[in-house]
Structure 1
Amino acid sequence: MKLIKLDAIDSTNDFLKALSSQDELENFTTVTAENQTKGKGQVGGVWKTEAGKNLTMSVLVKDFVFNNEEVFNLSLVVSLSVAEVLKSLNIPNICIKWPNDILSYNKKLVGILIENTLKSDGRIMSVVGIGINVNQTNFDELPTASSISVISGKPFDKEELAILIVEKLKEKVQLWNTSAQTFWDDYFNFLFKKGVPTAFRDKNNQDFMGIIQGVSPIGKLQVLLEDDSVAEFEIKEVKMLY
């Protein structure tokens, strides 16, 4: 894989998008940065990270997403790749909080942001941003977050972690056509709070109870409500309270 290492950048996603628009980069080209000044989260959110302590990376993925109905497939294989790598490193109690946050013991370890660009030839190019709390130990301002170092009690090599994740992602992308159902099953097995009564808050700030049943093919969260109906929610339409 082609790895571009930067000391500081406003956004690795923006850098990789700009680079790919000017040059025909090889698939899975990866950019990492020791310090990211304008990291982005889901739907306009901000990803804050302590300089030098964490893994901030963006990966170019081409020829995988071909239409809007397939966008969530990439989110699924990315989150599953990260979850499996962390589990292989003996990080305990790893789960995926819909759609693609990675948690351990209810603490957020990983945020993922995927940005898709339609090229002039009709192809869709995806830039996968992954932020992992690796060796940071102070989370006083982020009470719902932690790091794999805090959870495991030991430091990790950020570059080795990046390579493991990209190799796992590449493997899953290549196997998608023959293993999609297996990957969906694996994603569901990692899904946070599946099958248990959980409190939610909708976009109108109304609280309700429900039970996560699964995720639709286009990525909507499926929740069994108290009246036995199943509602589907898009990102930012519902918040899990835990």
Structure 2
Amino acid sequence: MKVVKLNATTSTNSYLRAYTKEFDSESDVLVWTLDQRAGRGQRGASWESESGKNLTFSVFKRVKGLPVGKSFYITMATSLAIYEVLEEFGVMNISVKWPNDILAGKSKICGILIESVIRNGLYAVIIGVGLNINQKVFKHAPRATSLALETGKIFDLEEVLEFLIIKFYKYVALITQGAFETLKTEYEDKLFRKGKVSTFKTNSGELFTGIITEVSKTGKLILQLEDELYKEFDLKELKLLY
């Protein structure tokens, strides 16, 4: 993997998308910055990150040959890699909030944004990660936390990044091996609120209750509703309240 380090940029995902248009490399590329000034999250949300305190990076990962319908397995692999790193560094009560937020308790410690690169089919994905490491004060994200807040320790950013890369390839190997069910089972085992009655809000503002049972192979959330009815939802259709 080629690693590109920047002092500052607006968004590592945007930078990497422009950067990779200039070449056609077989190798993966990781771009990380100490100061991301306009980080993006799901639903157009911004990502708060204090300069020099956190890991904000993006990975250009070739996935040529992987069907578009299986692209969510990249999200699963990334989520599991981050989960394992956090666990080994001493963070407690970790879970994956569908589709790709990582929580410690009920506080967000990591966000992931994955974008597809289409060139005659699914060619690659750009995986953007914002992982809170040493930041202790969050002015605009009251439910945010970090490794430092959860463990009382200060971490070396490059050491955490190197560990993350190792874990990422561990789980990507499951995709290469075709072990999709193994990956899916591990991901679902770590889902926040799985098997519990939870409240959801639709885009129109309607509230309803349901139980998270699993995630479809294409990444949709499957809920058990009243009368044993099961229904699939995608990210744009509802929000989990907690």
Q: TM-score band (shorter)?
A: over 0.9
> Superposed, which structure 2 residues align to 1:122-137 within 5 Å?
122-137=121-136
Whole-angstrom CA distance in 2 between matches of 1:152 and 1:65: 41
Whole-angstrom CA distance in 1 between matches of 2:116 and 2:65: 9
Whole-angstrom CA distance in 2 between matches of 1:64 and 1:76: 18
CA positional deviation for 1:60 = 1.2
> Superposed, which structure 2 residues align to 1:192-231 within 5 Å?
192-231=192-231
Contact 1:28/1:170 (8 A) holds in 2: no
SS at match of 1:36: coil
Whole-angstrom CA distance in 2 between matches of 1:112 and 1:91: 18
Whole-angstrom CA distance in 2 between matches of 1:23 and 1:218: 30
SS at match of 2:34: strand
2:90: which partner in 1?
A: 90
Whole-angstrom CA distance in 2 between matches of 1:122 and 1:197: 39
2:106: which partner in 1?
A: 106
Whole-angstrom CA distance in 2 between matches of 1:47 and 1:65: 32
Whole-angstrom CA distance in 2 between matches of 1:26 and 1:168: 20
2:160: which partner in 1?
A: 161
Q: Percent identity?
A: 38
CA positional deviation for 1:207 = 0.8
CA positional deviation for 1:125 = 1.4
Contact 1:101/1:108 (8 A) holds in 2: yes
- What letter corresponds to residue 192 of structure 2 in structure 1? F
TM norm structure 1: 0.94
TM norm structure 2: 0.94
SS at match of 1:194: coil
1:13: which partner in 2?
A: 13
Whole-angstrom CA distance in 2 between matches of 1:65 and 1:145: 37
CA positional deviation for 1:123 = 4.9
CA positional deviation for 1:178 = 4.1
Whole-angstrom CA distance in 2 between matches of 1:191 and 1:60: 26
- What letter corresponds to residue 172 of structure 1 in structure 2? Y
Contact 1:194/1:211 (8 A) holds in 2: yes
Alignment root-mean-square deviation, CA: 1.5
1:171: which partner in 2?
A: 170
Which blocks of at least 5 consecutive residues in structure 2 are unaligned?
none
SS at match of 2:180: helix
Cα 1:123/1:179, change in 2 over 3 Å = closer
Cα 1:135/1:112, change in 2 over 3 Å = same
